Amino acid sequence: MSNCADGLIDAIMGSTAITVSNCHMTNHNDVMLFGASDAYAEDAVMQITVAFNHFGRGLVQRMPRCRWGFVHVVNNDYTHWLMYAVGGSKHPTILSQGNRYIAPPDVNAKQITKRDYATEAEWSKWTWQSDGDLMMNGAFFVQSGESFFNQYTNQQLIKAKPGTFVTRLTRYSGSLNCMAGIPC
């Protein structure tokens, strides 16, 4: 997926129970937006999983950007971003597990996370946790809030592999090379 008019993937207006998986995304500014606006509190029910994707060349930000809700970011390969990879506002809960984050050369863009429209006193209470992520080229994830890993069971989350497995897990992400009448 690349070069869309707005976001590559947007989930808004109370959408929930969404999985974005096995995509290869390139050449876009606002990649994924989860949550309609800071004023739309109905998005607090949102539950989204972003798994086994490759975030490639030419991406700028929002991989994803979350308002409200719960987002599980698991076993993705973040090889390129220009501003930040994971961002949000309005106290979303973000669990990042087993991803590989390769920071860009720009020293000002090494931070994976970005919190919008909140003071540090406010966003420090938001639960954003990193577990088993592989950080490369100076990438770093600013965690906040209380750890909540013990609150979820194996039935509620995809079991994450370590970040070192990500290249194997995402190597076939993107569209399948299929032809009519022939099994893929």
Q: How far apart are CA 93 and CA 129, in angstroms?
A: 8
45 contact partners, CB below 8 Å, separation of at least 6: 14, 16, 69
Active site residue 62: yes
Residues with Cβ < 8 Å from 137, sequence gap 6 or more? 102, 103, 104, 105, 110
Contacts for 100 with CB less than 8 Å, ≥ 6 apart = 76, 77, 78, 79, 133, 134, 136, 163, 164, 166, 167
Helical segments of 43-128, H only:
120-123
Per-residue CA distances from 164 to 10, 84, 101, 136, 149 (Å): 29, 21, 11, 11, 20
* Residue given tokens 């606002």 in the structure block: 30
Q: Which of 57, 62, 168, 171 is catalytic?
A: 62
Residues carrying an active site annotation:
62
